[in-house]
Amino acid sequence: MNGPEPTPDRPPTPVSKAAYVLLGLMTVVSFGGPFGIALILHGGERTGWPPDRTAEWVGMGGVLALFIVCFVACLTARVWMARASGEGRARNPRHRI
Domain extent at residue 43:
17-91
pLDDT at position 50: 73
Model confidence at 89: pLDDT above 80: no
CA angle centred on 40, ends 36 and 43, rounded to 5°: 140
Residue 61 counted as domain residue: yes
Give the torsion through C-alpha atoms of 80, 74, 3, 82, to 10 deg: 0
Q: Which residue has the higher pLDDT, 90 or 15?
A: 15
Q: Which residue has the higher pLDDT, 88 or 34?
A: 34
Model confidence at 5: pLDDT above 70: no
Question: Could you tell me the pTM of the whole model?
Answer: 0.64
Residue 54 counted as domain residue: yes
Residue 71 counted as domain residue: yes
Domain count, the chain: 1
- How far, in Å, CA of 19 to CA of 14, rounded? 11
Residue 97 counted as domain residue: no
Model confidence at 68: pLDDT above 80: yes
Confidence of residue 27 (pLDDT cuts 50, 70, 90): very high
Residue 7 counted as domain residue: no
Model confidence at 93: pLDDT above 60: no
Residue 56 counted as domain residue: yes
Residue 5 counted as domain residue: no
Residue 3 counted as domain residue: no
